[in-house]
Structure 1
Amino acid sequence: MSLLEKIVRGLPVSPDIQQALTSPDLLRKHALYLRLPHLLAPAYGPVTPQQLEQLSAYGYLYFRFLVEFDQVLDQAGHQPLSAAATGRIFEFCAVYEAAIRGLSALFPEADPFWNHFAQCKREYAGSNRQEKTLAATRPAFTAAMFEELAAGKSAACYAMVHALDSLSGRSQPSTPLLTCLRHVHIGLQCLDDVDDFVQDLHHRQYTFAHYGVISENGINSTLRPGKGT
Protein backbone atom coordinates (compact mmCIF):
# COMPACT_ATOMS: atom_id res chain seq x y z
CA MET A 1 0.00 0.00 0.00
CA SER A 2 1.36 3.42 -0.95
CA LEU A 3 1.88 6.23 1.55
CA LEU A 4 -0.96 8.16 -0.08
CA GLU A 5 -3.38 5.27 0.41
CA LYS A 6 -2.34 4.88 4.06
CA ILE A 7 -2.90 8.59 4.73
CA VAL A 8 -6.27 8.62 2.99
CA ARG A 9 -7.47 5.56 4.89
CA GLY A 10 -6.74 7.37 8.14
CA LEU A 11 -8.62 10.55 7.23
CA PRO A 12 -11.88 11.35 9.09
CA VAL A 13 -13.83 11.63 5.83
CA SER A 14 -16.60 9.65 4.17
CA PRO A 15 -15.84 6.52 2.13
CA ASP A 16 -16.96 8.43 -0.97
CA ILE A 17 -14.23 11.05 -0.48
CA GLN A 18 -11.66 8.41 0.36
CA GLN A 19 -12.55 6.69 -2.90
CA ALA A 20 -12.41 9.97 -4.81
CA LEU A 21 -8.92 10.72 -3.47
CA THR A 22 -7.55 7.36 -4.60
CA SER A 23 -9.65 6.73 -7.70
CA PRO A 24 -7.36 5.16 -10.35
CA ASP A 25 -8.93 7.35 -13.04
CA LEU A 26 -8.26 10.57 -11.11
CA LEU A 27 -4.79 9.44 -10.08
CA ARG A 28 -4.01 8.95 -13.76
CA LYS A 29 -5.54 12.33 -14.61
CA HIS A 30 -3.41 14.05 -11.96
CA ALA A 31 -0.31 11.92 -12.53
CA LEU A 32 1.83 15.00 -13.16
CA TYR A 33 1.24 16.28 -9.63
CA LEU A 34 1.92 12.90 -8.07
CA ARG A 35 5.11 12.36 -10.06
CA LEU A 36 6.40 15.93 -9.98
CA PRO A 37 8.86 15.47 -7.05
CA HIS A 38 10.37 12.44 -8.79
CA LEU A 39 10.52 14.22 -12.17
CA LEU A 40 12.35 17.19 -10.63
CA ALA A 41 14.60 15.18 -8.32
CA PRO A 42 17.42 14.52 -10.86
CA ALA A 43 18.13 18.26 -10.85
CA TYR A 44 18.90 18.13 -7.13
CA GLY A 45 21.37 16.64 -4.73
CA PRO A 46 20.63 14.41 -1.74
CA VAL A 47 16.86 14.05 -1.41
CA THR A 48 15.83 10.62 -0.10
CA PRO A 49 13.19 8.38 -1.71
CA GLN A 50 11.16 8.68 1.50
CA GLN A 51 11.18 12.48 1.26
CA LEU A 52 10.11 12.32 -2.38
CA GLU A 53 7.24 9.98 -1.51
CA GLN A 54 6.13 12.29 1.30
CA LEU A 55 6.26 15.33 -0.99
CA SER A 56 4.26 13.44 -3.57
CA ALA A 57 1.54 12.36 -1.13
CA TYR A 58 1.18 15.57 0.87
CA GLY A 59 1.56 17.81 -2.17
CA TYR A 60 -1.14 15.84 -3.97
CA LEU A 61 -3.53 16.11 -1.02
CA TYR A 62 -2.99 19.86 -0.89
CA PHE A 63 -3.60 20.06 -4.64
CA ARG A 64 -6.86 18.09 -4.34
CA PHE A 65 -8.06 20.40 -1.58
CA LEU A 66 -7.41 23.42 -3.84
CA VAL A 67 -9.31 21.79 -6.71
CA GLU A 68 -12.29 21.09 -4.45
CA PHE A 69 -12.21 24.56 -2.91
CA ASP A 70 -12.06 26.16 -6.36
CA GLN A 71 -15.10 24.18 -7.47
CA VAL A 72 -17.01 25.33 -4.39
CA LEU A 73 -16.14 28.96 -5.15
CA ASP A 74 -17.38 28.55 -8.71
CA GLN A 75 -20.64 26.98 -7.53
CA ALA A 76 -21.15 29.64 -4.86
CA GLY A 77 -21.01 32.31 -7.55
CA HIS A 78 -24.03 30.87 -9.34
CA GLN A 79 -26.29 29.36 -6.68
CA PRO A 80 -26.45 28.81 -2.93
CA LEU A 81 -24.35 25.91 -1.69
CA SER A 82 -26.33 22.79 -0.95
CA ALA A 83 -26.05 21.06 2.41
CA ALA A 84 -24.14 18.25 0.70
CA ALA A 85 -21.64 20.65 -0.89
CA THR A 86 -21.15 22.44 2.43
CA GLY A 87 -20.52 19.17 4.24
CA ARG A 88 -18.12 18.04 1.52
CA ILE A 89 -15.92 21.14 1.80
CA PHE A 90 -15.76 20.73 5.59
CA GLU A 91 -14.63 17.15 5.08
CA PHE A 92 -11.99 18.35 2.64
CA CYS A 93 -10.65 20.58 5.41
CA ALA A 94 -9.37 17.32 6.93
CA VAL A 95 -7.50 16.69 3.67
CA TYR A 96 -5.94 20.15 3.91
CA GLU A 97 -4.96 19.58 7.55
CA ALA A 98 -3.31 16.26 6.71
CA ALA A 99 -1.32 17.90 3.93
CA ILE A 100 -0.08 20.70 6.20
CA ARG A 101 0.82 18.31 9.01
CA GLY A 102 2.86 16.24 6.57
CA LEU A 103 4.65 19.25 5.13
CA SER A 104 5.33 20.54 8.64
CA ALA A 105 7.11 17.29 9.44
CA LEU A 106 9.39 17.86 6.45
CA PHE A 107 10.00 21.58 6.94
CA PRO A 108 10.59 23.21 10.35
CA GLU A 109 8.75 26.44 11.08
CA ALA A 110 11.77 28.63 10.25
CA ASP A 111 12.52 26.86 6.96
CA PRO A 112 12.59 29.26 3.93
CA PHE A 113 10.12 26.93 2.22
CA TRP A 114 7.21 28.44 4.14
CA ASN A 115 7.84 31.99 2.91
CA HIS A 116 8.06 30.76 -0.67
CA PHE A 117 4.92 28.67 -0.15
CA ALA A 118 3.06 31.73 1.18
CA GLN A 119 4.08 33.70 -1.92
CA CYS A 120 2.82 30.89 -4.16
CA LYS A 121 -0.51 30.92 -2.35
CA ARG A 122 -0.81 34.71 -2.70
CA GLU A 123 -0.18 34.42 -6.43
CA TYR A 124 -2.76 31.64 -6.71
CA ALA A 125 -5.36 33.64 -4.78
CA GLY A 126 -4.72 36.74 -6.86
CA SER A 127 -5.25 34.83 -10.09
CA ASN A 128 -8.49 33.36 -8.79
CA ARG A 129 -9.75 36.85 -7.94
CA GLN A 130 -8.70 38.08 -11.37
CA GLU A 131 -10.53 35.18 -13.01
CA LYS A 132 -13.76 36.06 -11.17
CA THR A 133 -13.37 39.72 -12.17
CA LEU A 134 -12.89 38.81 -15.82
CA ALA A 135 -16.00 36.61 -15.73
CA ALA A 136 -18.02 39.52 -14.34
CA THR A 137 -16.68 42.31 -16.59
CA ARG A 138 -15.76 40.30 -19.74
CA PRO A 139 -13.17 42.74 -21.12
CA ALA A 140 -10.89 42.23 -24.10
CA PHE A 141 -8.67 39.24 -23.29
CA THR A 142 -5.07 39.50 -24.48
CA ALA A 143 -2.55 36.66 -24.76
CA ALA A 144 -0.43 38.34 -22.07
CA MET A 145 -3.43 38.41 -19.70
CA PHE A 146 -4.08 34.74 -20.38
CA GLU A 147 -0.49 33.72 -19.71
CA GLU A 148 -0.38 35.67 -16.46
CA LEU A 149 -3.67 34.16 -15.32
CA ALA A 150 -2.72 30.60 -16.32
CA ALA A 151 0.65 30.84 -14.59
CA GLY A 152 -0.88 32.26 -11.42
CA LYS A 153 -3.60 29.61 -11.22
CA SER A 154 -0.84 27.00 -11.12
CA ALA A 155 1.35 28.87 -8.64
CA ALA A 156 0.77 26.40 -5.82
CA CYS A 157 2.55 23.80 -7.95
CA TYR A 158 5.71 25.92 -7.96
CA ALA A 159 6.04 25.24 -4.24
CA MET A 160 7.40 21.82 -5.18
CA VAL A 161 10.53 23.47 -6.57
CA HIS A 162 10.96 25.47 -3.36
CA ALA A 163 10.42 22.29 -1.33
CA LEU A 164 13.18 20.45 -3.18
CA ASP A 165 15.41 23.51 -2.91
CA SER A 166 15.08 23.38 0.88
CA LEU A 167 15.47 19.61 1.22
CA SER A 168 18.61 19.61 -0.90
CA GLY A 169 20.13 22.63 0.86
CA ARG A 170 19.99 24.92 -2.13
CA SER A 171 19.89 28.55 -0.98
CA GLN A 172 18.50 30.13 -4.17
CA PRO A 173 15.31 29.18 -6.04
CA SER A 174 15.83 27.04 -9.12
CA THR A 175 14.64 29.66 -11.60
CA PRO A 176 14.93 27.48 -14.75
CA LEU A 177 12.67 24.84 -13.18
CA LEU A 178 10.15 27.47 -12.09
CA THR A 179 10.13 28.88 -15.64
CA CYS A 180 9.67 25.38 -17.06
CA LEU A 181 6.68 24.68 -14.80
CA ARG A 182 5.18 28.04 -15.72
CA HIS A 183 5.35 27.22 -19.43
CA VAL A 184 4.02 23.69 -18.91
CA HIS A 185 0.99 25.01 -17.03
CA ILE A 186 0.27 27.71 -19.60
CA GLY A 187 0.13 24.93 -22.19
CA LEU A 188 -2.08 22.78 -19.97
CA GLN A 189 -4.43 25.72 -19.42
CA CYS A 190 -4.76 26.10 -23.19
CA LEU A 191 -5.84 22.47 -23.43
CA ASP A 192 -8.24 22.80 -20.49
CA ASP A 193 -9.90 25.89 -21.94
CA VAL A 194 -10.56 24.05 -25.21
CA ASP A 195 -11.64 20.78 -23.59
CA ASP A 196 -13.94 22.57 -21.10
CA PHE A 197 -15.23 25.18 -23.56
CA VAL A 198 -18.93 24.29 -23.28
CA GLN A 199 -18.79 23.52 -19.56
CA ASP A 200 -17.09 26.84 -18.78
CA LEU A 201 -19.64 28.68 -20.92
CA HIS A 202 -22.47 26.99 -19.05
CA HIS A 203 -20.98 28.10 -15.73
CA ARG A 204 -20.52 31.65 -17.08
CA GLN A 205 -16.77 31.52 -16.81
CA TYR A 206 -14.80 33.62 -19.26
CA THR A 207 -11.69 32.16 -20.86
CA PHE A 208 -9.23 33.16 -23.54
CA ALA A 209 -10.80 30.50 -25.78
CA HIS A 210 -14.23 32.13 -25.36
CA TYR A 211 -12.85 35.56 -26.17
CA GLY A 212 -11.11 34.20 -29.26
CA VAL A 213 -14.37 32.75 -30.62
CA ILE A 214 -16.29 35.91 -29.74
CA SER A 215 -13.80 38.30 -31.31
CA GLU A 216 -13.18 36.23 -34.44
CA ASN A 217 -16.87 35.74 -35.19
CA GLY A 218 -18.32 39.05 -34.06
CA ILE A 219 -20.52 37.39 -31.42
CA ASN A 220 -22.09 39.53 -28.73
CA SER A 221 -20.00 38.78 -25.64
CA THR A 222 -23.03 39.18 -23.36
CA LEU A 223 -24.73 36.11 -24.82
CA ARG A 224 -25.23 33.12 -22.57
CA PRO A 225 -26.01 29.50 -23.42
CA GLY A 226 -29.66 29.07 -24.32
CA LYS A 227 -30.21 32.71 -25.32
CA GLY A 228 -29.44 32.27 -28.98
CA THR A 229 -26.76 33.84 -31.14
Structure 2
Amino acid sequence: MQREWLDPYMLDVKAVFESVEERLQQYPESLAGHALEQLRLLHPVRRNSGHSYVGYITPLWMQHTDGLPPDQAHQLSVACLLHMMYFLNLDDVMDEPAEDAVLKLTLGNLCYVDALRVYSALFESSSDFWNHFRQVLQDWAVSVNGELHIDYFQQNPLLIAQKASPSQLGVIGALLLLEQGDRIASVCDALNIVLMTLQMTDDFTDTKQDAEHGNYNSYLSHISAALQQEYPTHPLHESTHHNVFNSTFMNSYADIAQYFHSTLTSSNSVLPQFISLNGYLYNTLVQAVHGMLQHKKRLYRGGFHYWIRESQLETTDKRETDSV
Protein backbone atom coordinates (compact mmCIF):
# COMPACT_ATOMS: atom_id res chain seq x y z
CA MET A 1 0.00 0.00 0.00
CA GLN A 2 1.46 3.35 -1.06
CA ARG A 3 2.19 5.93 1.60
CA GLU A 4 0.90 9.03 -0.18
CA TRP A 5 2.77 11.37 2.16
CA LEU A 6 6.14 9.68 1.57
CA ASP A 7 6.57 7.32 -1.39
CA PRO A 8 6.07 9.88 -4.20
CA TYR A 9 8.73 12.11 -2.56
CA MET A 10 11.31 9.44 -1.75
CA LEU A 11 13.86 10.61 -4.34
CA ASP A 12 13.73 14.12 -2.86
CA VAL A 13 13.97 12.73 0.67
CA LYS A 14 17.04 10.66 -0.23
CA ALA A 15 18.71 13.71 -1.76
CA VAL A 16 18.07 15.71 1.42
CA PHE A 17 19.51 12.94 3.62
CA GLU A 18 22.58 12.72 1.39
CA SER A 19 23.11 16.45 1.73
CA VAL A 20 22.83 16.29 5.52
CA GLU A 21 25.14 13.27 5.60
CA GLU A 22 27.82 15.28 3.78
CA ARG A 23 27.55 17.98 6.43
CA LEU A 24 27.74 15.52 9.33
CA GLN A 25 30.84 13.89 7.88
CA GLN A 26 32.64 17.22 8.41
CA TYR A 27 32.00 17.13 12.19
CA PRO A 28 34.88 16.34 14.56
CA GLU A 29 35.82 12.67 14.44
CA SER A 30 34.62 12.09 18.01
CA LEU A 31 31.10 13.24 17.05
CA ALA A 32 30.70 12.45 13.35
CA GLY A 33 30.12 8.73 13.83
CA HIS A 34 27.35 9.30 16.38
CA ALA A 35 25.76 11.97 14.18
CA LEU A 36 25.76 9.70 11.12
CA GLU A 37 24.25 6.85 13.14
CA GLN A 38 21.44 9.11 14.34
CA LEU A 39 20.79 10.19 10.76
CA ARG A 40 20.73 6.55 9.64
CA LEU A 41 18.11 5.73 12.26
CA LEU A 42 15.96 8.62 11.02
CA HIS A 43 16.08 7.58 7.38
CA PRO A 44 12.62 6.50 6.16
CA VAL A 45 14.02 3.50 4.29
CA ARG A 46 14.46 1.93 7.73
CA ARG A 47 11.28 0.05 8.55
CA ASN A 48 9.37 1.52 11.49
CA SER A 49 12.01 4.16 12.19
CA GLY A 50 9.64 5.57 14.80
CA HIS A 51 10.29 9.20 13.91
CA SER A 52 8.06 11.81 12.33
CA TYR A 53 8.56 12.85 8.73
CA VAL A 54 6.68 16.09 9.29
CA GLY A 55 9.74 17.81 10.71
CA TYR A 56 11.46 17.97 7.34
CA ILE A 57 9.21 16.75 4.53
CA THR A 58 6.68 19.59 4.25
CA PRO A 59 8.88 21.74 1.94
CA LEU A 60 9.20 18.73 -0.39
CA TRP A 61 5.41 18.35 -0.43
CA MET A 62 5.03 22.01 -1.30
CA GLN A 63 7.57 21.71 -4.08
CA HIS A 64 5.10 19.42 -5.85
CA THR A 65 1.76 20.86 -4.73
CA ASP A 66 2.50 24.61 -4.58
CA GLY A 67 5.41 25.09 -6.97
CA LEU A 68 8.14 25.83 -4.43
CA PRO A 69 11.41 25.84 -6.46
CA PRO A 70 13.26 22.52 -5.98
CA ASP A 71 16.53 24.08 -4.79
CA GLN A 72 14.71 26.10 -2.13
CA ALA A 73 12.59 23.11 -1.12
CA HIS A 74 15.68 20.95 -0.67
CA GLN A 75 17.64 23.58 1.24
CA LEU A 76 14.73 24.25 3.56
CA SER A 77 14.21 20.52 4.11
CA VAL A 78 17.92 20.13 4.94
CA ALA A 79 17.67 22.90 7.53
CA CYS A 80 14.53 21.33 9.03
CA LEU A 81 16.15 17.89 9.25
CA LEU A 82 19.23 19.28 10.99
CA HIS A 83 16.96 21.27 13.31
CA MET A 84 14.93 18.15 14.05
CA MET A 85 18.11 16.27 15.02
CA TYR A 86 18.87 19.06 17.47
CA PHE A 87 15.46 18.76 19.14
CA LEU A 88 15.54 14.96 19.18
CA ASN A 89 18.82 15.03 21.09
CA LEU A 90 17.46 17.64 23.46
CA ASP A 91 14.23 15.72 24.02
CA ASP A 92 16.14 12.52 24.77
CA VAL A 93 18.12 14.25 27.49
CA MET A 94 15.03 15.88 29.01
CA ASP A 95 12.87 12.74 28.91
CA GLU A 96 15.42 10.23 30.13
CA PRO A 97 18.79 11.61 31.24
CA ALA A 98 21.59 9.14 30.54
CA GLU A 99 25.36 8.85 30.52
CA ASP A 100 25.52 10.10 26.93
CA ALA A 101 23.72 13.37 27.77
CA VAL A 102 26.85 15.46 27.14
CA LEU A 103 27.34 13.78 23.75
CA LYS A 104 23.73 14.41 22.73
CA LEU A 105 23.73 18.03 23.86
CA THR A 106 26.99 18.92 22.14
CA LEU A 107 26.07 17.05 18.97
CA GLY A 108 22.64 18.67 18.96
CA ASN A 109 24.17 22.12 19.14
CA LEU A 110 26.35 21.45 16.11
CA CYS A 111 23.21 20.45 14.20
CA TYR A 112 21.48 23.61 15.41
CA VAL A 113 24.28 25.86 14.17
CA ASP A 114 24.28 24.14 10.78
CA ALA A 115 20.50 24.54 10.53
CA LEU A 116 20.82 28.26 11.22
CA ARG A 117 23.41 28.59 8.46
CA VAL A 118 21.03 27.06 5.93
CA TYR A 119 18.04 29.10 7.13
CA SER A 120 20.16 32.24 6.85
CA ALA A 121 21.03 31.43 3.24
CA LEU A 122 17.31 31.31 2.44
CA PHE A 123 16.00 34.22 4.52
CA GLU A 124 17.52 37.67 4.96
CA SER A 125 17.85 39.06 8.47
CA SER A 126 14.86 41.35 7.81
CA SER A 127 12.62 38.46 6.73
CA ASP A 128 9.46 37.78 8.73
CA PHE A 129 10.73 34.19 8.97
CA TRP A 130 12.83 35.12 11.98
CA ASN A 131 9.83 36.51 13.85
CA HIS A 132 8.05 33.23 13.27
CA PHE A 133 11.22 31.35 14.21
CA ARG A 134 11.37 33.05 17.60
CA GLN A 135 7.65 32.52 18.22
CA VAL A 136 7.82 28.83 17.33
CA LEU A 137 10.77 28.23 19.67
CA GLN A 138 9.04 30.24 22.38
CA ASP A 139 5.91 28.09 22.03
CA TRP A 140 8.07 24.99 22.30
CA ALA A 141 9.87 26.27 25.41
CA VAL A 142 6.64 27.24 27.17
CA SER A 143 5.05 23.89 26.32
CA VAL A 144 7.99 21.77 27.49
CA ASN A 145 8.24 23.64 30.79
CA GLY A 146 4.48 23.78 31.29
CA GLU A 147 4.13 19.99 31.05
CA LEU A 148 5.53 19.75 34.56
CA HIS A 149 2.45 21.35 36.09
CA ILE A 150 -0.21 22.07 33.40
CA ASP A 151 -2.58 19.46 31.98
CA TYR A 152 -2.59 20.72 28.39
CA PHE A 153 -4.60 17.84 26.96
CA GLN A 154 -7.58 18.67 29.16
CA GLN A 155 -7.41 22.38 28.35
CA ASN A 156 -7.37 21.64 24.60
CA PRO A 157 -5.97 18.48 22.94
CA LEU A 158 -4.34 20.62 20.25
CA LEU A 159 -2.08 22.22 22.88
CA ILE A 160 0.03 19.06 23.04
CA ALA A 161 1.12 19.88 19.47
CA GLN A 162 3.09 22.85 20.79
CA LYS A 163 5.81 20.48 21.95
CA ALA A 164 6.42 19.80 18.24
CA SER A 165 5.93 23.40 17.12
CA PRO A 166 9.40 23.57 15.46
CA SER A 167 7.90 21.24 12.83
CA GLN A 168 5.95 24.28 11.62
CA LEU A 169 9.10 25.96 10.31
CA GLY A 170 9.09 23.97 7.07
CA VAL A 171 5.57 25.14 6.24
CA ILE A 172 6.22 28.71 7.40
CA GLY A 173 9.44 28.96 5.44
CA ALA A 174 7.91 27.47 2.29
CA LEU A 175 4.93 29.83 2.35
CA LEU A 176 7.18 32.87 2.86
CA LEU A 177 9.39 31.79 -0.04
CA LEU A 178 6.21 31.47 -2.12
CA GLU A 179 5.15 34.95 -0.91
CA GLN A 180 1.99 33.45 0.56
CA GLY A 181 2.42 34.49 4.16
CA ASP A 182 -1.32 35.03 4.51
CA ARG A 183 -1.77 31.22 4.46
CA ILE A 184 0.54 30.55 7.40
CA ALA A 185 -2.09 30.62 10.16
CA SER A 186 -4.58 28.31 8.43
CA VAL A 187 -2.00 25.80 7.19
CA CYS A 188 -0.27 25.67 10.58
CA ASP A 189 -3.66 25.09 12.25
CA ALA A 190 -4.11 22.05 10.03
CA LEU A 191 -0.57 20.88 10.70
CA ASN A 192 -1.21 21.11 14.45
CA ILE A 193 -3.89 18.44 14.11
CA VAL A 194 -1.35 16.12 12.49
CA LEU A 195 1.17 16.90 15.23
CA MET A 196 -1.48 16.29 17.90
CA THR A 197 -2.41 12.90 16.40
CA LEU A 198 1.27 11.98 16.18
CA GLN A 199 1.77 12.88 19.84
CA MET A 200 -1.34 10.97 20.89
CA THR A 201 -0.12 7.88 19.04
CA ASP A 202 3.34 8.13 20.61
CA ASP A 203 1.85 8.71 24.06
CA PHE A 204 -0.35 5.63 23.84
CA THR A 205 2.66 3.55 22.86
CA ASP A 206 4.91 5.10 25.53
CA THR A 207 2.41 5.04 28.40
CA LYS A 208 4.40 2.69 30.64
CA GLN A 209 7.72 4.45 30.07
CA ASP A 210 6.22 7.92 30.63
CA ALA A 211 4.49 6.76 33.82
CA GLU A 212 7.80 5.43 35.18
CA HIS A 213 9.78 8.57 34.38
CA GLY A 214 7.07 11.10 35.22
CA ASN A 215 6.85 12.44 31.66
CA TYR A 216 3.66 14.14 30.54
CA ASN A 217 1.44 11.76 28.59
CA SER A 218 -1.91 12.66 27.00
CA TYR A 219 -3.34 9.15 27.47
CA LEU A 220 -2.55 9.24 31.19
CA SER A 221 -4.13 12.69 31.25
CA HIS A 222 -7.24 11.25 29.60
CA ILE A 223 -7.52 8.45 32.16
CA SER A 224 -6.88 10.76 35.11
CA ALA A 225 -9.55 13.21 33.98
CA ALA A 226 -12.09 10.39 33.57
CA LEU A 227 -11.31 9.23 37.11
CA GLN A 228 -11.34 12.83 38.40
CA GLN A 229 -7.74 12.49 39.52
CA GLU A 230 -5.19 15.28 39.55
CA TYR A 231 -2.68 15.21 36.69
CA PRO A 232 0.21 15.65 36.10
CA THR A 233 1.47 14.17 39.34
CA HIS A 234 4.31 11.80 40.13
CA PRO A 235 3.94 9.11 41.22
CA LEU A 236 0.64 8.48 39.49
CA HIS A 237 -2.50 7.63 41.41
CA GLU A 238 -2.92 3.87 41.73
CA SER A 239 -6.37 4.08 40.12
CA THR A 240 -4.79 5.57 36.98
CA HIS A 241 -2.29 2.71 36.83
CA HIS A 242 -5.06 0.15 37.22
CA ASN A 243 -7.11 1.62 34.36
CA VAL A 244 -4.41 1.93 31.69
CA PHE A 245 -5.93 -1.04 29.83
CA ASN A 246 -9.55 -0.05 30.42
CA SER A 247 -11.28 -0.57 27.06
CA THR A 248 -13.67 2.36 27.61
CA PHE A 249 -10.80 4.78 28.14
CA MET A 250 -8.75 3.41 25.24
CA ASN A 251 -11.69 3.72 22.84
CA SER A 252 -12.71 7.19 24.00
CA TYR A 253 -9.09 8.33 23.61
CA ALA A 254 -9.10 7.14 20.00
CA ASP A 255 -12.44 8.90 19.51
CA ILE A 256 -10.75 12.24 20.24
CA ALA A 257 -8.26 11.63 17.43
CA GLN A 258 -11.12 10.62 15.13
CA TYR A 259 -12.98 13.86 15.83
CA PHE A 260 -10.00 16.00 14.89
CA HIS A 261 -9.33 13.90 11.80
CA SER A 262 -12.87 14.66 10.65
CA THR A 263 -12.19 18.35 11.28
CA LEU A 264 -9.05 18.12 9.18
CA THR A 265 -10.74 16.41 6.25
CA SER A 266 -13.45 19.08 6.14
CA SER A 267 -10.95 21.96 5.92
CA ASN A 268 -10.47 23.80 2.65
CA SER A 269 -6.95 25.04 3.44
CA VAL A 270 -5.29 21.73 4.28
CA LEU A 271 -2.54 20.13 2.21
CA PRO A 272 -3.67 16.73 0.89
CA GLN A 273 -0.61 15.11 2.44
CA PHE A 274 -1.79 16.26 5.87
CA ILE A 275 -4.99 14.27 5.45
CA SER A 276 -3.25 11.10 4.26
CA LEU A 277 -0.60 11.22 6.99
CA ASN A 278 -3.08 12.04 9.72
CA GLY A 279 -5.31 9.20 8.53
CA TYR A 280 -2.34 6.84 8.75
CA LEU A 281 -1.49 8.03 12.27
CA TYR A 282 -5.11 7.72 13.40
CA ASN A 283 -5.34 4.20 12.00
CA THR A 284 -2.08 3.34 13.77
CA LEU A 285 -3.61 4.48 17.06
CA VAL A 286 -6.79 2.50 16.43
CA GLN A 287 -4.75 -0.61 15.61
CA ALA A 288 -2.70 -0.17 18.79
CA VAL A 289 -5.90 0.03 20.83
CA HIS A 290 -7.30 -3.02 19.04
CA GLY A 291 -4.06 -4.91 19.65
CA MET A 292 -4.24 -4.14 23.36
CA LEU A 293 -7.86 -5.30 23.52
CA GLN A 294 -6.91 -8.57 21.82
CA HIS A 295 -4.04 -8.93 24.27
CA LYS A 296 -6.50 -8.62 27.16
CA LYS A 297 -8.78 -11.26 25.62
CA ARG A 298 -5.89 -13.72 25.35
CA LEU A 299 -5.10 -13.17 29.01
CA TYR A 300 -8.71 -13.87 29.96
CA ARG A 301 -8.69 -17.14 27.99
CA GLY A 302 -6.03 -18.60 30.21
CA GLY A 303 -2.30 -18.92 30.61
CA PHE A 304 -1.61 -21.83 28.26
CA HIS A 305 -3.52 -20.29 25.32
CA TYR A 306 -1.74 -16.99 25.95
CA TRP A 307 1.69 -18.66 26.02
CA ILE A 308 1.01 -20.48 22.73
CA ARG A 309 -0.18 -17.28 21.03
CA GLU A 310 2.78 -15.18 22.27
CA SER A 311 5.21 -17.87 21.12
CA GLN A 312 3.68 -17.76 17.65
CA LEU A 313 3.95 -13.96 17.55
CA GLU A 314 7.59 -14.03 18.69
CA THR A 315 8.45 -16.52 15.94
CA THR A 316 6.72 -14.37 13.34
CA ASP A 317 8.42 -11.21 14.59
CA LYS A 318 11.83 -12.90 14.45
CA ARG A 319 11.27 -13.97 10.85
CA GLU A 320 10.22 -10.44 9.87
CA THR A 321 13.20 -8.89 11.67
CA ASP A 322 15.62 -11.27 9.98
CA SER A 323 14.21 -10.35 6.58
CA VAL A 324 14.68 -6.57 7.02
Q: Summarize the Cα distance change of 1:11–1:173 in structure 2 as closer, same or farther, 3 Å threshold.
A: farther
Larger radius of gyration: 2
Size of the aligned set, in residue pairs, is 216
Which letter does structure 1 place at the counterpart of 2:214? R
Q: 1:211 aligned to 2:211?
A: no
Q: 1:143 aligned to 2:165?
A: no
Q: Check conservation: 1:44, 1:164, Cα contact below 8 A.
A: no
Which of 209, 222, 243 aligns to 1:199? It is 209
Which letter does structure 2 place at the counterpart of 1:177? V
* Structure 1 residue 110 displacement after superposition: 0.9
2-structure distance, mates of 1:181, 1:36: 10
SS at match of 1:29: coil
Higher RCO structure (Cα 8 Å, ≥6 apart):
1
1:73 aligns to what? Answer: 94
Which letter does structure 2 place at the counterpart of 1:121? L
* Structure 1 residue 223 displacement after superposition: 6.7
1:102 aligns to what? Answer: 118
Taking only the aligned residue pairs, the percentage that are identical comes to 22
1-structure distance, mates of 2:181, 2:95: 38
Q: Summarize the Cα distance change of 1:184–1:132 in structure 2 as closer, same or farther, 3 Å threshold.
A: same
Q: Which runs of 5+ in 1 are unaligned?
A: none
* Structure 1 residue 202 displacement after superposition: 1.2
* Structure 1 residue 96 displacement after superposition: 0.9
Q: Summarize the Cα distance change of 1:170–1:87 in structure 2 as closer, same or farther, 3 Å threshold.
A: same
Q: Check conservation: 1:34, 1:56, Cα contact below 8 A.
A: yes
Q: Summarize the Cα distance change of 1:3–1:17 in structure 2 as closer, same or farther, 3 Å threshold.
A: closer
Note the 1:53-132 alignment, pairs <5 A: 53-75=74-96, 82=99, 84-132=100-148
Q: Check conservation: 2:63, 2:70, Cα contact below 8 A.
A: no
* Structure 1 residue 74 displacement after superposition: 2.9
Q: Summarize the Cα distance change of 1:161–1:146 in structure 2 as closer, same or farther, 3 Å threshold.
A: same
2:190 aligns to what? Answer: 180
Which of 166, 171, 175 aligns to 1:165? It is 175
- RMSD of aligned Cα (Å): 2.7
* Structure 1 residue 214 displacement after superposition: 3.6
Q: Check conservation: 2:136, 2:166, Cα contact below 8 A.
A: yes
Deviations 1:197-224 (A, max 9, x none): 0111111123231133345467797674
Q: Which runs of 5+ in 2 are unaligned?
A: 1-14, 243-324
TM-score (norm 1): 0.81
Q: Check conservation: 1:34, 1:57, Cα contact below 8 A.
A: yes
Which letter does structure 1 place at the counterpart of 2:36? Q
